[in-house]
Amino acid sequence: MWTPDALFAEMRTARCNLALPRFASSTVFCWAEHSTRFLGLKLASRERSRFIRGVPWIPMSLFSNLTSRSCLVLSACFLAILSGAELQADPPPTYTERWRPQYHFTPPDTWMNDPNGMVYYDGEYHLFYQNNPFGNRWGHMSWGHAVSKDLVHWENLPLALAEENGVMIFSGSAVVDWNNTSGFGRPGQPAMVAIYTGHYTGKPLQNQQIAYSTDRGRTWTKYSGNPVLDIGEADFRDPKVIWHQPTGRWVMAVSWPHKRQVRFYASPDLKSWTHLSDFGPAGSTSGIWECPDLFPIRVEGQRDPRWVLVVNVGSGAPAGGSGTQYFVGDFDGTRFIPDPISTPKPQPEWVPTGTVLADFEKGYGDWQTTGEAFGSGPATGTWDGQQAVDGFQGQGLVNTFRGGDGAQGTLTSPLFQVDQDYLSFRIGGGRLPDQVGVNLWINDRIVRSATGANAERLAWQSWDVREFRGQQARLELVDRATGGWGHLNADHFILASAPARNATEAALWADFGRDFYAAVTWSDVPPRDGRRLWLGWMSNWSYANDVPTYPWRSAMTVPRALTLRSTPAGLRLVQTPVEELAELRETRHQLKRVKLDTAAAWLETLNFPTGLAEVELDLEKVPDSGSVALTLQHGTTGITVIRADLAAGTLQVDRTQSGRSDFHPAFAGVHTAPLRVDRGRLRLHVLVDVSSVEVFAQNGETVMTDLILPPTSDLRVGLSAEGAARALQIRSASLWALRAAPPSNKTSVP
């Protein structure tokens, strides 16, 4: 039987000259990629960006059952394709591409996700990251590498740890082994040790492995005794290792994703590990647990530090999709104990008494179906091939995943009179507006619509229908989608005097925007600095592979300094942009002690052509009703609104009109965070880059991070208020244009 190696040997004999295209995922390869393995080509990553127009992608599974004759025929066909193919090389990255961040770190021309191995050593902040060195979609996970002396200007370095021998390099951490406990160091040269997850591509296994460097992280050697920790699990990953001074040993926090647990281990030498304890499930458990972090941290105004355990979750974050939760407590060297005062209390579900329009316990009744998606009657739970469905009431529910996402159809209610103020219902399934969801029809037009959240769990949604009281209405459930998440789950439609309320998890969230994930802190920051520093991946697993940037994909947030703050609800994590970013500021525009209308008129005179800006607002005499909004307007059509709803006590980022969002239905949205206005003062600190907005409210107590893809870079800032908030005062307003901070080397390093 012909193997890829043998086939390419034949092609090599034929002196076939192949170039390496980008590939789309870890499970899809192309013939040209194999040319670098089997034809002996050694290409720099910038050369890997070449592609052959017209060459098809070919799954590896195709090779498994080919006869030698078939393989030769396929080879001949491929050579024929090559003979007429047009070879085209990508230009090197310029860092001026559309939507390329200008002061946030991005890889030159490949895919990036989680920050890894963040450590400070010999005057440099190291940032390793999950990287596909061959393309700009997830796959072939390896560790990319960059360093910075000031957390602002970065230098790209060669790939640090590469996928090889069927083992991808998943997320992890790095430490400086000052005491040479591992034996990897040299006199006067402590080793930098990376602790990472080995993800096996040929079998369902993840374990923990190490590598070391004795030249400031420039080259790495994988430990010959790997793995150093293996419990035989398919999902067991993302080790964060710290030196625990009181016990004089290394401590590892590592996620057990599907059990929603963090496991703690100890080691004297980074090579042998002993299990200590487990934490969880706790807090948010809707999504899998990943990328833990564990660190002591200063409490503002207090001498004694506390401990924070960070757990990133793959889904279920406040804005939807992936996000970062944390726990406040103490760590005694063996176990993490949450602080009961700082742990929020869960709120139970509440369902009002009202008129039940449908509960689907006895079929569809008078509801009418079209197509095949809804079948002849309700489902009773999860269909074959579907992820587990929960959150419905009773035994019956609408579930259009009948044999998959291919079926289409509608389910329509009989007419009913709107005689209550709110219409509530449980809904799950795909987030596909206009394709999958629930519509309310009145007078032959749709007046309300709802869709799922790309989750099988059904959750309450409610419509305020007071303006329609006394009118005849009809509900329409639709499934017009055939692709991924192209199905609807729905149950229990009820008219009542108040909206239904979902149960809330007892979770603390570091960031309430849509694009903050896998946040971890830097190790070994010098004690004289005194800061706890971190950053996160500025994207969301819901749509990360689809964000339309090229040749790179994904960015990191700005580095942030962390503290804990005492609040009426307990200790809360506070984040502020690192002070080093101030060096990017240009001319300061400032206004003090004016009315809101005066400030709004002044803002209209300012313009930021590059789209790079920093805004600081300090508002006083802020009432407990009305709202105030800061508007970021790019050109005439790109509008992002940051709104404080003072009556509700919330802060929102509305990116529904910010720019391009058609690449994924989950991108456009309004994201909401709790906001505590303290003694009539409201402070907003906003960082705007070409394709992102980071909001730090109340000196970092509430933080929101969101990507935007505006139609133009030209930026203007607006300010407005409604209701009682029109009378608030501007204590101070400061705005700066910011300079770009591209890396010192803009191309991938061989």
Q: Which residues are catalytic, by number?
A: 114
How far is residue 7's CA from residue 63's CA, in Å, rounded to a whole number?
A: 10
Q: For residues 552 and 112, is the Cβ–Cβ distance under 8 A?
A: yes
The three-state (H, E, C) secondary structure of 138-160, written as one string: CCCCEEEEEEECCCCCEEEEEEE
Cα separations in angstroms, 685 against 168, 345, 639: 39, 29, 18
Q: For residues 31 and 55, is the Cβ–Cβ distance under 8 A?
A: yes
Q: For residues 129 and 112, is the Cβ–Cβ distance under 8 A?
A: yes
Q: For residues 141 and 169, is the Cβ–Cβ distance under 8 A?
A: yes
Please name the residue ranges forming H helices in 161-287. Answer: none
Copy the structure tokens of residue 334.
Answer: 């063996």
How far is residue 603's CA from residue 614's CA, in Å, rounded to a whole number?
A: 13
Tallying the residues shown for the chain, one arrives at: 750
Nearest to 431 by CA among 668, 245, 262, 589: 668
CA angle 9, 10, 12 (to 5 degrees): 60
How far is residue 471's CA from residue 419's CA, in Å, rounded to a whole number?
A: 8
Query: What is the enclosing helix (H) or strand (E) of 729?
Result: strand 729-738
Tokens 């909001």 sit on residue: 695
Is residue 551 reached through a cis peptide bond, with omega within 30 degrees of 0 on the bond before it? yes
φ and ψ at residue 582, rounded to 5 degrees: -60, -20
DSSP for 497-533? SS--B--B---EES--SSS-EEEEEPB---TTT--EE
How far is residue 548's CA from residue 350's CA, in Å, rounded to a whole number?
A: 41
Nearest to 475 by CA among 352, 364, 400, 371: 364
Query: What is the enclosing helix (H) or strand (E) of 69?
Result: helix 68-84
How far is residue 169's CA from residue 161's CA, in Å, rounded to a whole number?
A: 7
Is residue 227 reached through a cis peptide bond, with omega within 30 degrees of 0 on the bond before it? yes
Copy the structure tokens of residue 317.
Answer: 């974050």
Q: For residues 428 and 459, is the Cβ–Cβ distance under 8 A?
A: yes
How far is residue 373's CA from residue 360's CA, in Å, rounded to a whole number?
A: 16
**DSSP structural state of residue 11:** H
Q: 3-state DSSP: the chain helix, strand, coil percent, rounded to 5?
A: 10, 45, 45
Copy the structure tokens of residue 624.
Answer: 């407990």
Return the SS3 of 78. helix
Tokens 């339309």 sit on residue: 548
Nearest to 291 by CA among 248, 321, 324: 324
Nearest to 632 by CA among 593, 606, 667: 606
Copy the structure tokens of residue 313.
Answer: 């979750």
